[in-house]
Amino acid sequence: MQITLLYAGLLSIVLFVLSYRIVQIRQQGVSLGDGGDPAMQRRIRAQGNFTEYVPIILIMIALLELNQLPGYVLHALGLALLVARCLHGYAMSFSESFFIGRFWGTAITFLLLVVCGILCVYTSIV
């Protein structure tokens, strides 16, 4: 599980950064919700979107690793997930105009959902 462990660790740092971006605004007086602040709304959604997609994809990568998929495949999946979430997180939490990052981050994440799902099903029946 060394490969999944690597990407789980790296992705936890990304989640920390996204979470800290919310804390920065919370310290300015918005203790609950988003206070109607568009920047806070983007930061909350960046973090929420991360927590919605990353766990299931990481679980699938871990299961594929347990089933001894080649390391290069696992690294490709893990690196793609890391890049996708960095692109999406940056676009949503740090920028108001980096739409291409949001697009590619979302597209790669959706592609990973499908690819990992297919690999899991295929691995389970072969």
**How far apart are alpha carbons 38 and 44 in whole angstroms?**
10
pLDDT tens digit string along 77-100? 999 999 999 999 999 888 877 889
Res. 103: pLDDT tops 90: yes
73-96 burial, b for 16+ CB within 10 Å, e for fewer?
ebeebbebbbebbbbbbbbbbbee
pLDDT tens digit string along 11-30? 999 999 999 999 888 877 77
Predicted local distance difference test score (pLDDT) of residue 38:
85
Which range marks the domain in which residue 65 is found?
A: 2-125
Total number of domains in the chain: 1
DSSP letter, residue 30: -
Give yes or no for a contact between 7 and 86, defined as CB atoms under 8 angstroms apart.
no
Residue 16's domain is classified under what CATH number?
Answer: 1.20.120.550
Whether the pTM exceeds 0.85: the reply is yes
